[in-house]
Amino acid sequence: MRGVLGIGVLTCFLSAGMAGEPIDVWPGKAPGEATHSLGETLPFRQGETPPVTRVVKITRPTFTVHLAPKPNGSAVVILPGGGFGKVVPDKEGTEAATWLNRHGVAAFVVSYRTTDGGTTPGWLKPLQDTQRTMGLVRAQAARWKIDPERLGLLGFSAGGQVAARLLCAGGERSYAPVDHYDRISYRPAFALLIYPWNIYDEKRGTLVPGVDVPLDCPPSFLVHTDDDRSSSLGAVLFYAGLKRKGIASALHVYGNGGHGYGLRSVTGSQIASWPGHAAHWLLGQIGNAR
């Protein structure tokens, strides 16, 4: 559905969103893209139960709308993981949307652009797509009956890195403005970073460049595991930055559980308890944002 964000076709934009169909992030091709593709879905991996969807070669970013049956007026934009080369829209997307909906929170799952293996940093296009999506959702808040001041951001793995970079961007756009939607703030009221991928610089012993907790960073909830190959030190240092600046936040580092679990259980780990802790924290933030 191209050009759905024009004023003359706003009704089409909204009806598609309510039906769960993907909504375009950009009016036409995304910045710097020569193609306009929703991507290719890879075959399911053998023995993976439940199966996990993985989409590659996305050049046309979209998001889907998931409204809560008993809404409380809050909403969250969800960034799945996938290492920038792919997007995992179910395990780290719609499954999280269902969880949020149970707590009265509307959800918007983003299928951001994936890397083409070029010289552009893998996080840049997803960051552009996310900044744009936050503005779009906030601009249409009344249509979805959500409070624009209670819009949060949830990122898994690579999506967690993108979310961290957005929190630390200082309000600067990572692309040239396209239309009036790009004049609307992309800053979330709160954030959840779930096993944020590679935000720790092992050589420097610090957070990676571009991830430096600002004074105006919103309250954040972080989850990681000690045995994650993407070091938990990234989450620890991000939390330390929040704590030093007096920003009320929470950090949970589990002894084991690995990486990429989403909201699912892992044998021998208590990692599946994180959504319960997150819901308790999240509902407090939603109340504080009113």
CATH homologous superfamily of domain 35-288? Alpha/Beta hydrolase fold, catalytic domain (3.40.50.1820)
19-28, 105-114, 141-150, 190-199: range with lowest mean pLDDT? 19-28
Which residues, 6+ apart, have CB-to-CB distance to 3 below 8 Å? Answer: 9, 24, 27, 28
pLDDT for residue 114 is more than 70 = yes
Domain extents for the chain? 35-288
pTM, whole model, 2 decimals? Answer: 0.92
> Torsions phi, psi of 17, nearest 5?
-65, -45
Query: Model confidence over 147-183: pLDDT tens digits?
Result: 999 999 999 999 999 999 999 999 999 999 999 999 9
Residues of 43-57 as b/e, b for ≥16 C-beta within 10 angstroms? eeeeeeeeebbbbeb
Q: Residue 12's pLDDT band (boundaries 50, 70, 90)?
A: very low
Are 183 and 141 in contact by the 8 Å Cβ rule? The answer is: no
Query: Model confidence over 236-264: pLDDT tens digits?
Result: 999 999 999 999 999 999 999 999 999 99
Are 196 and 235 in contact by the 8 Å Cβ rule? The answer is: yes
